[in-house]
Amino acid sequence: MINSPKTLLKSGFVLLLLINAILPAQGDEKEAKKLPEEYVFDVEEVKLEKPRLLRPEFHGFLSLGAPFSEGLDETEKGSSKVFNQTELTFWFGTQILKNLSFDSELEMDDGFEEFEIEKFELDWNIFNERCVLRIGEFYYPFGIERFVESSPYNKLIDRPNPSVKIIPGTYSDVGLELYGTVPFFYKTKFKYELAVTNGLASPEKKGEQEWLDDNNDNKTLGGRLGLELLPGLEIGGSYSTGKYDDDEKYRMDFAGADASFRKGGFEIRGEYIRSNVERSTSAGGSFDREGYYFQTSYKYAPEINYVKYVECVTRFDSVDPNDLITDESDADRIAFGINYSPVNHTMLKLEYEMENEAKEDRENKGFIQIIFSW
């Protein structure tokens, strides 16, 4: 029995994916834009050069992972089994009209026991990519790690601590967004993303709202402004504010700064995130939390058989999720990774991680992951 709008929406979404996978695509395939070797879940990357009505695109990936070292405590071992680390993601999008497109993403994880609609959005291109209106459920426009959080694009197996312990993991929200890219003088570009959404329901990691539901009437305002100084070099700042509790008494603010540089196979990126959480005295009082990460990587593509590329990655991150408490959640961590792709759409990752917490030294951890995309 279907007992909620969210269940109905999910059921219809899964049915749509199955129908699209079974039915063959119609039309002249030569007119369609070819799929990039490294597919990004962005309808702009796969829309047709000559827009046609309801011409769908269907893609996705499957990732399998497991630890190969024993540096895990009892709370981590259960979530580090191969079955629980399996993730299956489907992406479906279409160019409906010349200036109107649809984009969606369905994620199944925890051994296929949970599935979430991460994106379900309509984009109306008002003015030549300089002004686009988005409506629906979308990744909240804060920081830059959200662009690469999916397994095929995350250069390490896990995500930076600040992106999951300060911001609640993959943060999708329902509302309106206005975004665009405006060319400036020389080769600079100004990028903006401004959103009005339902907002979070709590400061915890699982504080996201249910679809078509909001625990209060307050809306969260925020977004990101970015400046591309040179091709490959970008700096940005993000901010978000809104009341999260049922009675609309307490506010939660986020502020962040980011920078990234990419040239050839070399990439460097970093972010700083700070949050203030208002809370009642009985619950422990208001507190601040902050964290940052710094990541470098180099990709080498020798163009030989069965070696599409090899990539080396290093990341340092630090997080303090509550300045009133000093416990195991306060951690500095350094991770090393190597990625190997033998052919297109297949990737093998290895990661070794060393963590130093506030109260104790933890044993080192290692992970392995394989990813298939289509």
Comparing C-alpha atoms, which of 350, 323, 320, 325 is closest to residue 335? 350
- Indicate the residue type of 115: F
What is the structure's pLDDT at 70?
A: 55
Tens digit of pLDDT for each residue in 285-300? 999 999 999 999 999 9
pTM of the model as a whole: 0.81
Both tokens assigned to 22: 């079974």
- Kindly report which listed range (120-134, 222-236, 344-358) carries the lowest average pLDDT score: 344-358
Half-sphere exposure of 112 (CA within 13 A, CB side): 6
Considering the chain, what is the average pLDDT of its residues? 82
- Please state the length of the chain: 374
Q: Percent of the chain having pLDDT more than 70?
A: 76
Is residue 215 within 8 Å of residue 246, measured between CB atoms?
Answer: yes
Q: Percent of the chain having pLDDT more than 90?
A: 56
**Strands in the chain per DSSP E:** 55-67, 87-97, 100-109, 114-127, 131-139, 172-183, 189-197, 220-230, 233-243, 251-263, 266-277, 287-300, 309-320, 331-341, 346-357, 365-373
pLDDT-based confidence at 253, cuts 50/70/90? very high
Average pLDDT over residues 326-331: 80
- Indicate the residue type of 306: Y
What is the structure's pLDDT at 325?
A: 87
Q: Point out which residues pair with 226 in neighbouring strands.
A: 191, 236
What is the structure's pLDDT at 15?
A: 45
Is 81 or 192 the better-scoring residue by pLDDT?
A: 192
Average pLDDT over residues 368-373: 95
What is the structure's pLDDT at 336?
A: 97
**What residue has token string 């988005």?**
134
Tens digit of pLDDT for each residue in 92-144? 999 999 899 999 999 987 666 778 889 999 999 999 899 999 999 999 999 99
Buried b (16+ CB within 10 A) or exposed e, 111-137: eeeebbbbbbbebebeeeeeebebebb
pLDDT-based confidence at 34, cuts 50/70/90? very low
Fold of 35-50+59-373: Porin (2.40.160)
Comparing C-alpha atoms, which of 165, 198, 221 is closest to residue 355? 165
pLDDT-based confidence at 212, cuts 50/70/90? low
Maximum average pLDDT range among 26-35, 83-92, 284-293: 284-293
